[in-house]
A and B are shown apart, each in its own frame.
Chain A
Amino acid sequence: MFRYKGYTGKYLEVDLSTGSVEVLPIDEALAEAFLGGSGFGTNLLWRRVPAAVDPLSPDNLLIFATGPLNGTLMPNSGRMEMISKSPLTGIYGDSNTGGFLGPELKFAGFDMVVIRGKAPEPVYLWIEDGKAEIRSAKHLWGKDTVETEDALVEELHDPGVKVACIGPAGENLVRYACIQATSSRSFGRTGGGAVMGSKNLKAMAVRGFGAVRIADPDGFYRVAVRCHEGIKSNEIYPAVHRYGTPGIVSLMNVIGRFPTKNFQLGGYADADKINAEALRAGFFVKDIACFGCPVACDKIYRVNEGEYAGTTVRSFEYETINAFGANILNPKLDAILKASDICDRLGLDSITTGRCISFVMELLDRGILTRAGVDGLDLTWGNVEAAMELVRRIAYRQGVGTLLAEGVRRAAKEIGKGAADYAMDVKGQEIAAQDGRAQQSMGLAHVTSSRGADHLKAFPTIDETGYPTEARRRYGDAYLPDMADPRSTKYKGFLVKDGEDYAAVVDSTGTCKSGGNFVLAQIYWDDVAEAVRYATGMDIDVVGLKAAGERIVNLQRAYNAIHGISRKDDTLPKRFIVEPNYQATPEGAVCRLHEMLDDYYRLRGWDREGLPTAETLRRLGLEDTIPRLESELAGRPSRSP
């Protein structure tokens, strides 16, 4: 019997090449050191997916992992992780989804699903109450994500079935294809959809009727209720509940942090046409929530009239509004909703897709590409119809879509002629709608993130628009006023490190960053330590939890290091470093990255090249990794002291 509650203590190991499905016990030591979620995934990639493995080969692992707080009483405990080596970046990759999939997997009796190999023909995985089987998906191949989900719910005779599936983009190995998760939520980033496609795995359907048991029910109940109450009484709760992530459109625009025209500008003149108020007034249907969430930042929106009438979108976020709005100079909200729906159905990460489009638009503008080179599509700024057509061509890899299905970094290399200067990515992953010039910590977060450009690994929110109250609550007075000043680089190394460690824990225990943990900044180390202790019965406190967070971040870094990642890769596109964003500050701000990076490496216990030192690895109980790290790094340019 597995010692700890909160977990089911079991996972599924599926080999699609041989058709074998095994139920295996979770290792207790693994749970103690890595908690679950992205922690489990990181550990598995390190041990089982060496640097030589091509992400789209059968040897890559596709991992779905929950954590000990998934499907419990804790607020926003519906979130789970997908982990795999990324076909987009070639390094560590993960993505997180909300909704109900994670809890359902636990109710079905599993903490994790590990998938390897490649099925000879399209298949889906059907998991129900402690059992799983591989079934033919020949009849589903070619269907979009909505059709796939509907067909599975129908054939499994149960409206409670939760589905994770890919659309045509995943089947066609678009490097940033996402995995859609019931209903309309997605594992958006790093191309898990292409990994699924490469394995001929169309879908995973899950249903469970079991329980998540808790070690100390009374203690756990107390902390859970306290956190629910805390969230509901948080001063920004009403706004976050009412508007969800689109609520920050106006805010970001005012501070010059709203990427416009492929990051050429930090604000959009038509922002009020695509902000949360406009969205709510024109399209709102209903508030919806993920499992166990008192925030309900999610909404259903519907287009009632015009060209796109009938379009219904759930989980419509700030990022997509930016990607298909300001990013391509399109002020039509109904068209953005339509574009979001197209991405969802085809199974594409709307952030990267949008960035691919703005990249092409800029190249056309600058004469690096010609109209003939983009199949005659009129991809001028603001032409959202042409953009939508391009989205379809990307998903099906047709014409210029073939090039863009590779992401901006690979496409820029192919195009040449200086195109790379307009590819807005870090380590091959396109930058989300978070301008690191207007908020210094964000620039740092993008470069230190283990999955390439990313705002969610460190999720610096405290200096977003200056929240001294939150800064004081979390870190005391010592770091103010700089900590809360978005333009100051001071203490940002610390902020990003703490954010990353905490986020690694959140992603590993299975709750939501958008809910109580970062956006509301309501739940923090103490609460999580208490919750994990009561839920699992594990002897863990804040110190232990922080070490777990650091351990996960360091192992991700070590994993990336054996793929050749070091300081030289911890950098931003030229635009962020040398082209000022005048909307952010009258003097013109650029990201002063290197001041912060040195500070960050020092706090992490990494050397000047950004590699974890043996001492740091030993301190975190990762001494096993040292020999391999050293042997794989030998022969690379020597590490400075």
Chain B
Amino acid sequence: MRLQPNPEKCTGCQICEAFCSFKKERAVWPARSRISVLKWEKEGVYIPFTCQQCERPLCQEACPVGAIGRCEATGALEVDSRRCLGCKMCVTACPFGGMAYDPDRGQAIKCDLCGGDPECVRMCPFGALTFIREEKYAQVKRREAARKLAGLLDLVGR
């Protein structure tokens, strides 16, 4: 499964951050949200960003105690809090900033896809986040590209 952001639809409202942190921390706490909306205000570009659940997870490779494992059901990489040392190697290793660190608990934290029902996807009012099967991903992308192309042809045709 894949958490797919659509920056074109994102309004920057941070509802995903508010609800994500609330689900995980029981407080509204964007700094601890597992998803972050990166903003370029001038350009109006908002990109919701979170863990990519990589096929070859550098976080997992970097972890010296094997605290990071993949959940069979959702495909999410999860941090085992009993093992995590808080050494932050995973945070350093991740090329995207997908892994974060909670100094209060002294542990790494990350998106775990909410066990298959991501809160951010559920609450995003604009459909800027979708949770789709990997196999469908390319199809969705192609459809969108085709729609844009159709619009273009229409324009040229006129």
Contacts and interface: CB of A to CB of B under 8 A. Distances in A.
Contacts of A285: 44
B137 interface: no
B63 interface: no
Nearest to A312: B42
Contacts, number: 77
A214 B19 contact: no
A288 B27 contact: no
Contacts of B65: none
Given A217-B22, A228-B123, A228-B125, A71 B28 contact: yes
B18 A214 contact: no
Interface of A: 71-73, 100, 107, 159, 182-183, 209-214, 217, 221, 225, 228, 232, 285-294, 296, 298, 300, 312, 314
B12 interface: yes
The 4 closest A-B pairs by CB, nearest first: A294-B125, A211-B29, A289-B13, A211-B27
B12 A159 contact: no
Given A159-B39, A217-B22, A228-B123, A107 B31 contact: yes
B125 A217 contact: no
Contact residues of B: prevailing secondary structure: mixed
Contacts of A287: 11, 126
Contact of B22 (A221, A289, A294): A221
27 contacts: A73-B18, A73-B19, A73-B22, A73-B28, A100-B14, A107-B30, A159-B39, A159-B40, A183-B42, A210-B31, A211-B25, A211-B29, A212-B29, A214-B27, A225-B123, A232-B125, A285-B44, A286-B11, A286-B44, A287-B11, A287-B126, A288-B12, A289-B11, A291-B14, A292-B18, A293-B11, A294-B125
A182 B12 CA distance: 13
Contacts of A228: 15, 123, 125
B18 A296 contact: no
B13 A214 contact: no
Given A211-B27, A292-B14, A183 B41 contact: yes
A182 B41 contact: yes
Nearest to A72: B28
B110 interface: no
A207 to B, nearest CB: 10
A291 B18 CA distance: 9
Nearest to A209: B31
Contact of B28 (A100, A159, A182, A214): A214
A424 to B, nearest CB: 35
A290 B125 CA distance: 13
Contact of A290 (B13, B31, B40, B44): B13
A294 B44 contact: no
Contacts of B18: 72-73, 291-292
B32 interface: yes
Nearest to B124: A294
Contact of A292 (B13, B27, B41, B44): B13
Contacts of A232: 125
Interface in B2-60: 11-15, 18-19, 21-22, 25-32, 39-42, 44, 46
Contacts of B25: 211
A452 B62 CA distance: 63
Nearest to B30: A107
Contact of B11 (A100, A209, A211, A288): A288
Given A289-B11, A289-B12, 13 more contacts: A72-B28, A73-B28, A183-B41, A211-B28, A214-B26, A214-B28, A221-B22, A288-B11, A289-B13, A291-B13, A294-B125, A296-B11, A296-B126
Contacts of B123: 225, 228
A193 to B, nearest CB: 21
B13 A211 contact: no
Task: Report which residue of A72, A209, A211, A221 has the largest number of chain B beta carbons within 10 angstroms of its beta carbon.
Answer: A211
A294 B13 contact: yes
A183 B26 CA distance: 29
A313 B66 CA distance: 50
Nearest to B27: A211
Nearest to A535: B28
A72 B15 CA distance: 9
B32 A211 contact: yes
A72 B22 CA distance: 9
A214 B28 CA distance: 8
A287 B128 CA distance: 12
Nearest to A232: B125
Nearest to B28: A212
Contacts of A312: 42
A107 B32 CA distance: 11
B23 to A, nearest CB: 9
Nearest to A225: B123
A232 B125 CA distance: 8
A213 B11 CA distance: 25
Contact of B44 (A72, A159, A288): A288
A314 B39 CA distance: 15
Nearest to A184: B41
A294 B42 CA distance: 21
A491 B39 CA distance: 47
A292 B22 CA distance: 13
A211 B25 CA distance: 9
A62 B46 CA distance: 33
Task: Report which residue of B40, B44, B46 has the largest number of chain A beta carbons within 10 angstroms of its beta carbon.
Answer: B44
Contacts of B29: 107, 210-212
Interface string B111-136: 00000000000010110000000000
Contacts of A212: 27-29
A558 to B, nearest CB: 35
A213 B32 CA distance: 13
Contacts of A73: 18-19, 22, 28
Contacts of B125: 228, 232, 294, 296
A433 B72 CA distance: 59
A211 B12 CA distance: 19
Nearest to B122: A225
B27 A213 contact: yes
Contacts of B39: 159
B46 to A, nearest CB: 8
B125 to A, nearest CB: 4
A291 B22 CA distance: 15
Contacts of B27: 211-214, 217
B44 A300 contact: yes
Contacts of A72: 18, 28
A213 B27 CA distance: 5
B144 to A, nearest CB: 17
Contacts of B21: 211
A218 to B, nearest CB: 9
Contacts of A298: 11
A108 to B, nearest CB: 11
A522 to B, nearest CB: 13
A206 to B, nearest CB: 13
